[in-house]
Amino acid sequence: MRRTFASRILAGYLLVFGIASWVFYDSLLQEIKPVVRQASESVMIDTANLLAELVAEDVANNALFNLSAQMEEVNERPVSALVWGHLRTQVLLDFYITNAKGRVLFSSEGRDVGADYSQWRDVYLTLRGQYGARSTLADPYQPESSVMHVAAPILKNGEIIGVLTVYNSNQTMQPFVEASKRTVLKKWLLVLLACGVVALLLSFWLSRSVAQLSRFAKGVESGEAPKVPKLLGSELNDLAKALDEMRVKLEGKAYVEHYVQTLTHELKSPMAAIRGAAEMLLENPPEEIKDRFLHNINEQNLRMQRTVDQMLRLAALENQSSEINHQVLAAGLLVQQGVDSIRGTAEKRNIQINIEVREDFSLEGDQDLMLLALGNVLENALAFSSPASTIVVTVDQRRITLTDQGEGIPDYALTKVGHKFFSLPRPDGEPKSTGLGLALTQEICRRHHAELSIGNRTDGEKGVVVVFGPFG
DSSP for 335-373 reads: HHHHHHHTHHHHHHTT-EEEEEESS--EEEE-HHHHHHH
User: Residue 426: which of 388, 389, 461, 382 has the closest Cα?
Assistant: 382
Q: For residue 46, what pLDDT is reported?
A: 87
Q: For residue 316, what pLDDT is reported?
A: 58
Please state, in angstroms and rounded to a whole number, the distance separating the CA atoms of residues 415 and 437.
16
Which residues in the chain show pLDDT less than 70? 1-10, 12-14, 17, 21, 24-36, 68-69, 72-91, 138, 143-145, 171-177, 217, 219-237, 239-241, 243-267, 269, 303, 306-323, 420-421, 428-436
Contact between 445 and 434 (Cβ < 8 Å) = no
Asked whether the whole model's pTM tops 0.85, one would answer no
96, with CB counted inside 10 A (0-12, 13-18, 19+), is buried
Task: Give 328's strand partners.
Answer: 364
Please state, in angstroms and rounded to a whole number, the distance separating the CA atoms of residues 146 and 136.
5
Strands 86-88 and 81-83: antiparallel
Which CATH entry fits the domain spanning 250-468: 3.40.50.620, 3.30.1330.10, 3.40.50.40, 3.30.565.10? 3.30.565.10
Please state, in angstroms and rounded to a whole number, the distance separating the CA atoms of residues 257 and 220.
7
Strands 104-107 and 81-83: unpaired
Q: Domain limits of the chain?
A: 2-181, 250-468
Q: For residue 252, what pLDDT is reported?
A: 46
Q: What is the pLDDT of residues 38-92, one digit of tens each?
A: 777 788 888 889 888 888 888 888 878 777 667 766 666 666 555 555 555 555 7
Angle in degrees, CA 350, 353, 357, rounded to 5: 170
Rg of the chain in Å (alpha carbons): 36
CA separation, residue 346 to residues 266, 354, 382, 429 (Å): 17, 11, 7, 18
**CATH code for the structural domain at 2-181:** 3.30.450.20
100, with CB counted inside 10 A (0-12, 13-18, 19+), is middle
